[in-house]
Structure 1
Amino acid sequence: MITRRASGIPAGYPLRPAHRPGGAALFLAALLGAAGCSAAQTSPRAIVDAETGQLYGGVRDGRWIAAEAMDKGTLEGAELVRYANDGTRGNSSVLRPVPTDETCSNPTYRPQSGAGAEAGTYLAPDWDAAPRRATVLSTDNPTYRAALSDWLSARGIADPAPAIAQLVRVDLEGDGRDEVVLTAERQRGSITSTRAGDYSVLLLNRLQGERVVTVALRADVYPEDCVAECAPTRYRLFSTLDLDGDGRLELIVTSEDYEGIGRAVYGLDDLTQPALAWHCGP
């Protein structure tokens, strides 16, 4: 049995004590937020994976646009800025469509200058796409390992000492209260099989009121053996950026298995499914 992408599950993950802005800061933030919301985007803003050249799609006036619905002329002559995974703003480039030998879901765009591929994300924002940076935490944290073990146990998976692959703290909403992203996996089978007790998860821990809940953006758990029918997938947090200009950060998640690689954008309004995505592979 495979359980995928459960969400909204209470958990006991501790977060850093909230820093609550004072009244003046909140008033200023409200003014800036209102100004940002009222500024219409005259044309769709493309979002492109800098490493593969895959077009995620775009955004206009806070609405996501799938890659297949993007006007081909949107990127013609437009300068896009490459943001590194840590939020560092890099150089701008004009992109052009290029053919590719890979089997990918979306169109591919590369810099006209011929610059080499680098990890990151191309955007054309009128706003700061990285207003807050993520902090990488130690994956040996015993509190988070114990909490992950409890979460897995509730789903029929016994792992008293899980190995965390990523542990990242970031204020996604800009409210002074941190969220924590955790990735982990145990994969002991072959490229197409898993053993009972294997798993691969990407969990987001956030505060709702004064209560911490865990949302599983991606969660594959295998309480039983799965032979020749289950290709284990590894999930990683790729980046956190404000892709639509609302002041909140979206999560970009990498999914990788033996057949290929893909990335997906998750927005805070709906964490149950990607807002935009691409995939390369069979």
Structure 2
Amino acid sequence: MNRITRLLVLITALTVLASACGGADDEAAEAPSTTEAPAASNAEDDGESTETGDAPMTSAAPTTTEAPATTTTEPPPPANGVLVASEGVLGWVVDGVLFANDNGVAPAAAGDEYRLLRPEGVTGTTIGPAPELGCLGTTPFIDLGVTADSWPYDFPIGVSGTWDLFPQAVEVLATENQTYKDITRALIAEFGIDDPDPQLLQVLRVDLEGDGVDEVLVVAERLQAGGLAGAQAGDYSIVYLRKVIGNEVQQLVLHHSTLQNLAPDEFGYLEAFRVPTVADLDGDGQMEIVTQGFYYEGSWTEMWEYVENGQGEAVVALSVGCGV
């Protein structure tokens, strides 16, 4: 083979080799690329996952604690009403403020309903007329149709309005109570009266201030003739409050009347007392004491409030009377 022929064979071989290499490169370019899966995390105890690549990060939803529902107790509306005794209007309450019966016109009208209060609580209701001028034309009077024809007189207190009159319960105790007989005997001896076996007419136990400490009201009396007409020497009537003041129990005498000596031609004058009710009469949550006093030709009613001044004092807040 000459030189030219060998050169042509070499060129042909190179051309075939180049063509083969070009086809291999084209196949490599067309093959899809693969991505290796990320290695799995070995974390086991923390409860969390390890994210790799471009996967979006996730986080646990925040824990929310809902505030417990609260209930709001609305305070009761202020007291509004009229207080009526047998002698006339004691006073009235307007938006929780107490007014005496000489302070303007009583806020009452015909058709108003009144609850009737006695020591044991509300004993009934009645419809009242419009106020009119009562005894001696000086104080308003509302006739609730309640009468008492014989001694001992027993008149209730009438209250219009709807507030809670008894936030504290009143307990009527037995009058044959030797403890209170002994206390009464010692107490009336201070007024010059000797009665070895006092007659207790009323014994009432109540927590006046709502402080968890009970007070006791006692009414005792001796009328040897059976009534106020013709009272005799040694007769008496007393109403007192037994209350813890400081660290000791004391007796606060609200009223007393005694007849120690009586001349043969002397008329025996004596006053007698009752407790018609103990109730919250002005809507302040504390209990007021109502006393009624009688004499031969008249009577009067008072509402007492206990004053917490460290010394023990009960004061008259309202009063009404009728007589000569």
- For residues 78 and 70 of structure 1, what CA distance do their matches in structure 2 show? 20
Query: Shift in Å at residue 214 of structure 1?
Result: 0.5
Query: Which of 76, 81, 84 does residue 114 from structure 2 map onto?
Result: 81
1:165 Cα deviation (Å)?
1.5
Specify the alignment match of 1:274 in structure 2: 316
Gaps of 5+ in 2: 1-71, 148-154
**For residues 88-127 of structure 1, what are the structure 2 equivalents within 5 Å?**
88=122, 90-91=124-125, 93=127, 95-98=129-132, 106-110=139-143, 116-117=145-146, 119-125=155-161, 127=163
Tell me if structure 2 keeps the 8 A contact 1:54–1:108: yes
Cα-to-partner distance string for 1:135-173 (whole Å, 9 max, x where unaligned): 221212111111111112233222222121211111211
Report how far residue 240 of structure 1 moved: 0.8
The aligned residue for residue 279 of structure 2 is: 241
Alignment of 1:243-262 (within 5 A): 243-262=281-300
Q: Does 1:202 align with 2:239?
A: yes
Q: CA offsets, 1:172-222, max 9 Å, x none?
A: 111222111111122347726541x33210011011233111101101233
Correspondence for 1:65: 99
Paired residues of 1:254 and 1:264 also in contact (CA < 8 A): yes
Q: TM-score, normalized by length of structure 2?
A: 0.63
Return the alpha-carbon distance in structure 2 between the equivalents of residues 105 and 279 of structure 1. 10
Indicate the SS of the match to 1:143. Answer: helix
Structure 1 pair 239–247 and aligned structure 2 pair: CA distance change class (3 A)? same
When the two chains are superposed, the root-mean-square deviation of aligned CA atoms in Å is 3.2
**Is the counterpart of residue 185 in structure 1 residue 218 in structure 2?**
no
Show CA shifts across 1:74-120 (max 9, x none): 213683431331322744745312466x6576221246xxxx43753
Deviation at 1:238, TM superposition (A): 0.6
Q: In 1, Cα distance between the equivalents of 2:222 and 2:87?
A: 31
Rg comparison, structure with higher value: 2
TM-superposed CA distance for 1:276, in Å, is 1.3
Q: Is 2:306–2:315's contact at 8 Å kept on the other side of the alignment?
A: no
Q: Tell me the CA shift for residue 58 of structure 1.
A: 1.7
Q: CA deviation at 1:35?
A: 4.7
Q: Does 1:224 align with 2:261?
A: yes
**Cα distance change of structure 1 residues 142 and 95 upon mapping to structure 2, 3 Å threshold:** same
Q: 1:159 aligns with which of 165, 188, 195?
A: 195
* Structure 1 residue 247, shift from structure 2 partner: 0.7
Match of 2:210 among 167, 174, 180: 174
Fraction of identical pairs, as percent: 27
CA distance in 1, matches of 2:261, 2:247: 36
Answer whether contact 2:257 2:272 (CA < 8 A) is retained: no
- Going from structure 1 to structure 2, the CA distance change for 1:63 and 1:216 (only over 3 Å counts) comes to farther
**In the alignment, is the contact (CA less than 8 A) between 1:81 and 1:89 conserved in 2?**
no
Letter in structure 1 aligned against 2:321: H
Report the alpha carbon displacement of residue 262 of structure 1 after superposing the two structures with TM. Answer: 2.4
The 1:70/1:229 distance shift into structure 2, 3 A limit, reads farther
SS in 1 for 2:121: coil
Give the counterpart letter for 1:268 in structure 2: Y
Alignment length, in residue pairs?
238
3-state DSSP of counterpart to 2:179: helix
Structure 1: gaps spanning 5 or more residues: 1-30
Answer with 177-186 or 254-263: which moved more: 254-263
Q: Matched residues in 2 for 1:233 and 1:77: separation?
A: 34
In structure 2, what is the Cα distance between the partners aligned to 1:109 and 1:174? 32
Change (3 A) 1:89 1:186: closer
Residue 90 of structure 2 corresponds to 56
Measured at CA, do residues 201 and 109 of structure 1 come closer, stay the same or move farther in structure 2, by a change above 3 Å?
Answer: same
Helix, strand or coil at the partner of 2:306: coil
